[in-house]
């Protein structure tokens, strides 16, 4: 009398869900929506405070990143997936962010070099020029 062979899991442990999870119910999705709406309200309120431009940008980027993480965790179900899938997602996002940062910094340096060659002002005078231009081009006027 032989026993039937035990079937091996189709995917490695890192890809499988960590544990059986309950699907978020409607109330949990409403809570997430309220949290996202509150963060959006903070973003809008921060815009109207009289704070430095750098602090404004840093604050808005931090809040936007927080919202992105919440959306990715719950609506893309990364919170419930295996570690490998989450790691692949994070690695892809980090690579995309690094490439974006390199491109932006390259364009900024090239713009500063081009601007400094055309005028007699020292390059230090142009250090915040692109940031000031970005901030002052906002559609909403205080």
Nearest to 28 by CA among 68, 73, 74: 74
Contact 36, 67 (CB under 8 A): yes
Average pLDDT (34-41) is 96
pTM: 0.57
Nearest to 71 by CA among 41, 40, 92, 49: 40
Tell me how far CA of residue 133 lies from CA of 49, 62, 99, 128, in angstroms: 19, 21, 23, 9
DSSP state of 17: -
pLDDT in tens, 69-97: 888 888 887 777 777 888 888 899 899 98
């Amino acid at each position: 009398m032989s026993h039937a062979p035990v079937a091996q899991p189709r995917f490695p442990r890192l890809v499988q869900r960590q544990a059986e999870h309950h699907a978020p119910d409607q109330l949990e999705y409403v809570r997430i929506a309220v949290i996202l709406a509150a963060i959006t309200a903070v973003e809008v309120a921060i815009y109207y405070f009289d704070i430095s431009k750098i602090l404004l940008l840093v604050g808005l980027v931090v809040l936007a990143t927080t919202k992105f993480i919440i959306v990715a965790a719950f609506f893309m179900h990364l919170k419930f997936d295996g570690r490998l899938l989450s790691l692949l997602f994070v690695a892809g996002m980090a690579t995309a962010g690094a490439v974006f940062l390199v491109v932006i910094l390259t364009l900024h340096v090239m713009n500063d070099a081009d601007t400094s060659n055309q005028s007699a002002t020292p390059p230090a005078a142009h250090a915040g020029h692109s940031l000031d231009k970005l901030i002052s081009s906002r559609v909403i006027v205080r």
